[in-house]
A and B are shown apart, each in its own frame.
Chain A
Amino acid sequence: MQNKNNKGWYLLFTAPLTIIFLTVVVIPFVIGIYYSFFKWDGIAANPKVFVGFDNFIQLFGDSRFLTSTWKTTLFTILAVISVNIVGLVFALLVTSKLKIANAARTMVFMPYLIGGLILGYIWQFIFLDVFTLIGELTGMDHFFFNWLIDKDFALYALVFVFTWQMAGYIMIIYIAGIQSIPQDVMEAAMIDGASWWQKLKNITFPLLMPAFTISLFLTLSSAFKIYDVNLSLTGGGPANSTEMFAMNIYNEIFGYGNYGYGQAKAIIFFLIVAAITLTQVYITKKREVEL
């Protein structure tokens, strides 16, 4: 009786969410793998033609896709470096005993709450009108011009806006890490006459490794998957030069109507994201210092 009752409770507590989860995530994932072996234009009345691994083979000769892969990689590397540096510097600043620290923390975190889509539109205006104005006023118009119309600078603009969005978030993680460093270690170092840089290098950074793991993981995966800012800031332009991976998949499926081929790209996208994040977590976990 007791046992039967327990099973009933178990079902009642776990079944609803598990069923929703299966319908929204697990089943579509499996269907997605199936679709990636077919050629199909997305219209239900049209036939799905089984093509085996052809979609995956086709990827290697698709120059738009390869460019997109390269640009996404470049963007991810730049974005991860820039977000983590800015986030860490702010974290160090707002944990030093400055009066303005709390207010600064509040201000720097703010952009994270505004969605990527809206941030992109805001910065579109800034690059278009404010940058050109500053360029005219200062004469530095080789730097202050509309970045969004230049193939290379449009990518830097994405890095810039992404940093503006994520730095506050990453800062919060580093703050938590810095605050968990025991004060007595710092005091001991001070008594031994360690300089500011020595303390930073020999105590703060090694003890920040867990926070570093998390921050890298978060920035890596969110940079690699960027879509909203990409859509509203550059729209993939100029001339497809900033079409990131996620946008390339969206356009392939819903823009060009290549459902099977686009889904094959989406599966590859998943494999890359999984591989990057797992490797990164594995490497940094190994380097964490036990206290």
Chain B
Amino acid sequence: MKKFYRVLKELLLLITALFFLSPIYIIIVNSFKNRQELYENVLAPPTEFSFQYYIEAMDKMNFLNALANSLYITIISVLIIVVLSSMTAWMLARTDNKLSKIIFMVFIATMLIPFQTLMMPLMQFMSTITNSLHIPMINTREGLIFMHIGFSTSISVFLYHGFVKSIPITLEEAATIDGASKFGVFWRIIFPILKPITVTVMILNVINIWNDYLLPSLTLTDKGLRTIPLSTFYFFGQFTIQWNLAMAGLMLTIIPVVIFYVLAQKHIIKGIGEGAVK
């Protein structure tokens, strides 16, 4: 009897988990169907596997270009965020003065500001910089990267700061006595110790930046600069929706995420857990 309950529990969990992924099934099967087949039965598997709609969707979404833009923006942003926020957090945690406390407090307090409160004045300020200082902040990938770095500062510094506090200071002191510069101490001794939290910071930022829609939609106007969420949005806005084509398009946008998940699954789940608990 006990064994029966066990099997039942296993089955129930399996069914609910599968139900959770059922939308993915629906996208996949319908991305291979033609229009008529799709409307006959949306739940049935396709009768033939042709990648025709994938090719068409790729072309209409300018997918490869969008993928390149998304990769470029996400990777460069995350690398700079890791370098700058770990350095800043370490210095703030190790320099016990008023200025450090004030900077850190401002970082934390601004976490409460929603993006919608900043978006309009931010765009005004960025156009002012573009027009008066001739630094192209608007409508460039680099300008967007700059803004992504700014928005992820609070959470990244906060995570690093907490971790640095848990590292014994004696390590650094020994190295300083041996004559190493601050730069050397940080990169040779501290940064390797920070590795677990670096993984967390990277994963949180990859997810946020990769999926961000609103900021890029306000910053980037050129078609050629569109990221994946942007090109998906325009793809859906452009035509009266052809659902089979749309499903192929959505599948394309999900594939990179699935690859990322498969490659880094352990780190992602651990990183998310740690990032949230701190």
Residues of A within 8 A of B (CB): 6, 9-10, 12-14, 16-18, 20-21, 23-29, 31-32, 35, 42, 90, 93-94, 96, 98-101, 103-118, 121-123, 125-126, 129-130, 133, 164, 168-169, 172-173, 175-176, 210-211, 214, 218, 225, 227-228, 231-232, 245-246, 249-250, 253-254, 259, 262-263, 266-267, 269-270, 273-274, 277-278
Contacts and interface: CB of A to CB of B under 8 A. Distances in A.
Interface string B58-86: 00000000000000000000000000110
Contacts of A227: 116, 214
B121 A26 contact: no
Contact of B272 (A23, A90, A129, A172): A172
A266 B118 CA distance: 8
A163 to B, nearest CB: 10
27 contacts: A9-B181, A9-B183, A14-B103, A17-B85, A17-B88, A20-B150, A23-B129, A23-B146, A35-B124, A98-B13, A103-B17, A107-B20, A109-B272, A117-B229, A122-B27, A133-B42, A164-B20, A164-B23, A168-B20, A176-B276, A225-B114, A249-B116, A262-B120, A263-B120, A263-B121, A266-B117, A269-B117
B199 interface: no
Contacts of A98: 6, 9-10, 13
A28 B88 CA distance: 22
A228 to B, nearest CB: 5
A237 B272 CA distance: 33
Nearest to B150: A24
A32 B150 contact: no
A241 to B, nearest CB: 20
A105 B14 CA distance: 10
B170 to A, nearest CB: 19
Contacts of A228: 211, 213-214, 229
A99 to B, nearest CB: 6
Contact of A114 (B90, B213, B254, B268): B254
B250 A25 contact: no
Residues of A contacting B: mostly: helix
A157 to B, nearest CB: 13
B269 A105 contact: yes
B151 A25 contact: yes
Contacts of B211: 114-118, 228
A104 B233 contact: no
Interface string B133-152: 00000000000001101110
Contacts of A274: 112-113
Given A25-B110, A28-B122, 12 more contacts: A10-B91, A29-B113, A100-B17, A111-B23, A113-B207, A115-B211, A125-B247, A173-B276, A176-B277, A225-B114, A250-B214, A263-B120
A69 B268 CA distance: 35
B254 A14 contact: no
A27 B122 CA distance: 8
